[in-house]
Amino acid sequence: MNRSKPITGELLALKNQIEGYAIEYGLDFFPQIFEVCDYDTINILAAQGGFPSRYPHWKFGMDYDQLSKGYTYGLQKIYEMVINTDPCYAYLLQANNWVDQKIVMAHVYGHNDFFKNNAWFSNTNRKMMDVMANHGTKIRRYMEKYGHDTVENFIDKVLSLENLLDINELFETSSLKRHRKEQVEQQKFENEDDGYMVDDRSAALKSFMRTKARQVKKDEVKKDEDFSAELPLSQKNKDVLGFLIQYAPIEEWQADIIGILREEAYYFLPQRLTKIMNEGWASYWHSTIMTKKALDASEIVDFADKHAGVMYMSKQNINPYKVGIELMRDIEYRWDRGMFGKDYNECTDMSEKLRWDTKLGKGKEKIFEVRKSHNDISFIDEFLTPDFCERQQLFTYKYNPRNGRFEIDTKDFNAIKQKLLSQLTNFGQPIIEVESGNYMNRKELLLSHVHYGVDLDVGFANETLRNLFAIWRRPVNLKTRYEDKEVIFHFDGKDFRPQH
């Protein structure tokens, strides 16, 4: 069933033209495939995270519902979808006018280059389209076997934990893992002489899916669990889904489903870590390619209109496109003129600083380097400057309980940077670690929330624990701080109670 089709004719010619410009500018990208489709198809694709085939689940239906309504009521329109695959697929809306298609194509080459070169994407599976389709087939098969409701219900439970990821897992390649495993085995071997057992499990058993071989190994593991008084699961682990695959008393199909959802969550993770950079980079390139090469004079007003629409500034939120592109341009400007380093920073004469120009000319080189090695956090941490914040009119705001409205709090650089970094920390999600799989020596699960000043939503935490319990099948606990007190929320399958 083909709802989208490859571009032909004029569009294909346009693609070749834009691709030429992208190469000229030194962008380095996967082979690019553009397809056109109608608005319904692009809504479907967007609802499915850009992929034409996913596992059956109502949440895709929900996103589709919202996207279609938004489109029907004329509130939003998706111009393009691009996904991180090799070759890189991008979908264009058929109804886009000519300028839109140009912008979108130029924009897509930016994303494509970013996917290919940014370090955080280096381990993503570029054949994800097939993988996603296979996941769909697998889950459909489980649904046939165990019942639609049963499987969907289990997926819901797992989705509840989907945001509990460990960023470091992104750099766990299989060779690295093997290497570490060997080291641990070695150590274990050495230690056995001392009659002391070291647990190697959390490091050694980190594969995504349960294989037969693994099953055997797990049985072995189970055996020595019987001997050890304490489950040797004391190493803190942020990869909660990975932990559950290993240690929760679940069926094979359930472990497989956790594995599937985990793999997909990790696939999307780099995009969540680089939203500002990725959009900034793509916008930088659509703007550069359009204004310097591709635009026809007659299109300039339309382009300016569309570009301005993408770059809107909001008082409620940071627009990643806007902050991203401006920061990229700022870096380029500063490195072109040598506006960094000791001499520049220590210069106190503002007018001299303003005129500062060592004719360094390394702007382009620098931004290409930045796009390779940074993520949003390090990007902001390293390149956000007081000048930039002032020029971009950034501010923080907070709730004023006296009049019940949100008010601008401060324009202070450190406060802004602090706020932005804290929003970006752990991709905006609370940091939750598995602390013990044998809490109180009762095989209870203990999670701990690393508290950086913001409390968890207790209602949601309760419901999440309920779902976690359904998988762990023994009481589950969450250690956190709530209203300045240490507290452990305990859920035993029936009641939910806090223990101070």
Partner 1 sequence: MDHPIKRDHARFRKIVKGKIRDNLRKYVSQGNQIIPKGTDKFTVPMPSIDIPRFRFGDKSQGGLGQGQGQPGDPVDGQQDPNGQPGQGEAGEGEGKKELDVELSLDELARILGEELELPNIEPKGKKSLQSVVDRYTNIGTTGPDSLRHLRRTYKQALKRQIAMDSYDPENPAVIPIRRDFRYRSADTKVEMQNAAVVIYMMDVSGSMGDEQKEIVRTESFWINLWLKSQYKDIEIRYIIHDATAKEVDEQTFFRTRESGGTLISSAYNLCKEIIEKDYNPNEWNIYPFHFSDGDNWSADDTKLCLDLLDNVILPVSNVFCYGQVESRYGSGQFYKDLTSKYGSGEEKLILSKIKNKEGILDSIKEFLGKGK
Q: Considering only residues 424-483, where is the footprint of partner 1 by CB under 8 A?
A: 424, 427-430, 432, 449, 454-458, 460-464, 466-467, 478
Range in contact with partner 1 (rule: CB under 8 A) among 9-17, 94-102, 104-112, 272-280: 272-280
Amino acid at 99: V
Give DSSP secondary structure letters for 146-163: H-HHHHHHHHHHHHTTTT
Question: How would you label 176-197 residue by residue, b for 16+ Cβ within 10 Å and e otherwise?
Answer: eeeeeeeebeeeeeeeeeeeee
Pairing of strands 5-6, 32-37: antiparallel
- Using CB under 8 A, pick the residue from 273, 327, 367, 384 that binds partner 1: 273
Which token pair is 323? 């902050």
- Using CB under 8 A, pick the residue from 202, 271, 288, 436 that binds partner 1: 271
Contact 395, 408 (CB under 8 A): yes
Residue placing its CB nearer to partner 1 in the complex, 130 or 190? 130
Query: What strands lie across the sheet with 88-93, from one edge to the other?
Result: 5-6, 32-37, 88-93, 80-82
How far CA 11 is from CA of 34, 50, 384, 462, in Å, comes to: 9, 21, 39, 52
Question: According to the binding rule CB under 8 A, does residue 329 interact with partner 1?
Answer: no
Please state the closest distance from residue 45 (CB atom) to partner 1, in A. 9
- Using CB under 8 A, pick the residue from 396, 448, 450, 474 that binds partner 1: 396
**How far apart, in whole angstroms, are the C-alpha atoms of residue 234 and residue 221?**
16
- Using CB under 8 A, pick the residue from 423, 448, 487, 496 that binds partner 1: 423
- As to burial, measured by CB atoms within 10 angstroms (0-12 exposed, 13-18 middle, 19+ buried), residue 3 is middle
Residue placing its CB nearer to partner 1 in the complex, 93 or 424? 424
Range in contact with partner 1 (rule: CB under 8 A) among 55-63, 103-111, 190-198, 210-218: 55-63
- Using CB under 8 A, pick the residue from 2, 175, 298, 393 that binds partner 1: 393
Residues 63-92 that bind partner 1 (CB under 8 A): 63-66, 69-70, 73-75
Query: What strands lie across the sheet with 496-499, from one edge to the other?
Result: 431-439, 444-450, 476-482, 485-491, 496-499
**How far apart, in whole angstroms, are the C-alpha atoms of residue 465 and residue 480?**
13
* Cis ω for the linkage preceding 87 (within 30 of 0): yes
Beta bridge partners of 406: 399
Range in contact with partner 1 (rule: CB under 8 A) among 14-22, 57-65, 291-299, 331-339: 57-65
Name the 3-class secondary structure at 381.
helix
Residues 164-203 that bind partner 1 (CB under 8 A): 164
Which token pair is 81? 């979808």
- Using CB under 8 A, pick the residue from 15, 206, 272, 334 that binds partner 1: 272
Range in contact with partner 1 (rule: CB under 8 A) among 5-13, 20-28, 115-123, 266-274: 266-274
Please state the closest distance from residue 483 (CB atom) to partner 1, in A. 10
- Using CB under 8 A, pick the residue from 16, 149, 195, 355 that binds partner 1: 149
Please state the closest distance from residue 343 (CB atom) to partner 1, in A. 31
Residue placing its CB nearer to partner 1 in the complex, 35 or 336? 35
Please state the closest distance from residue 126 (CB atom) to partner 1, in A. 18
Beta bridge partners of 318: none
Please state the closest distance from residue 132 (CB atom) to partner 1, in A. 11
- Using CB under 8 A, pick the residue from 17, 53, 123, 378 that binds partner 1: 53
Q: How many residues does the structure list for the chain?
A: 500
Range in contact with partner 1 (rule: CB under 8 A) among 31-39, 101-109, 148-156, 170-178: 148-156
The secondary structure of residue 193, as a DSSP letter, is T
Question: According to the binding rule CB under 8 A, does residue 13 interact with partner 1?
Answer: no
- Using CB under 8 A, pick the residue from 60, 344, 356, 413 that binds partner 1: 60
Question: According to the binding rule CB under 8 A, does residue 376 interact with partner 1?
Answer: yes
Please state the closest distance from residue 154 (CB atom) to partner 1, in A. 12
- Using CB under 8 A, pick the residue from 77, 133, 156, 218 that binds partner 1: 156
Of 423, 430, 395, 420, the residue nearest 409 (C-alpha): 395
Contact 120, 272 (CB under 8 A): no
Please state the closest distance from residue 61 (CB atom) to partner 1, in A. 3
Please state the closest distance from residue 457 (CB atom) to partner 1, in A. 3
Question: According to the binding rule CB under 8 A, does residue 37 interact with partner 1?
Answer: no
- Using CB under 8 A, pick the residue from 14, 33, 46, 203 that binds partner 1: 46
Of 308, 290, 309, the residue nearest 299 (C-alpha): 290
